[in-house]
Amino acid sequence: MSEAKIARVYADALFRAAEAEGRVQPVRRDLHAFVEAVRGSDELRSVLRDQDVAGETRKRLVLELTEGGDPLVRNLLRLLIDKGREEILDDLDQAFGNLVEEAGNVVTVVLTTARPVPEELKAEIKASLESSLQKTVELVLTVDESIVGGAKLRIGDRIADASIRHRLDQLRARLISPTARLEGSVEAAS
């Protein structure tokens, strides 16, 4: 089973437990905060993933770092260390967030443009997406000048790429394909 699938199994179990106890948002907040701390600290990441460091030492460290945090998150982290599954933390955090959004009929949409989007247009885009998706949209705007123009839209694992960079890449691929050369030869011979 892939790490992503394993992470979804753990995320589902954590979500069901958090939902049963009415603590979904605190669990989401604490899990995400811990994962962000691990991402931001090379030292913490290496200690957690170093199997040469005793499991009890890693658990003690995690319990100290999460003191006062949600007990479900703390228990999950201990379990991951016991099972040697520390490497799935990122995927688990993502999967848990997806479950929370799905349960709340919320979807995160990432819109990438070559230039910043004005606030009034942002509101229109959000309203249009909510209308078409029939969900509450958390719109995340990013700027990537390399797309030249147009936009890329990511909803979950689906991507709609209407960027000029993407269109240029498609045109380049068509122009250098063997079929394009053959078609050009046939037209020239006519």
Contact 169, 147 (CB under 8 A): no
Contact 110, 154 (CB under 8 A): yes
List, in order of start, the domains of the chain with CATH numbers: 3-102 (1.10.520.20), 106-176 (3.40.30)
Burial 145-172 (b: 16+ CB within 10 A, else e): eebeeebbbbbeeeeebebebbeeeeee
- Three-class SS of residue 37? helix
Contact 51, 84 (CB under 8 A): yes
Q: Walk along the chain (190 residues) and give the pLDDT tens digit of each residue.
A: 788 899 999 999 999 999 999 999 999 999 999 999 989 988 888 887 776 777 788 888 888 888 999 999 999 999 998 898 888 999 999 999 989 988 888 888 999 999 999 988 999 999 999 999 898 888 999 999 998 888 899 987 788 888 888 888 888 888 887 765 555 554 554 4
Q: How far is CA 182 from the centre of its chain?
A: 42
Contact 43, 92 (CB under 8 A): no
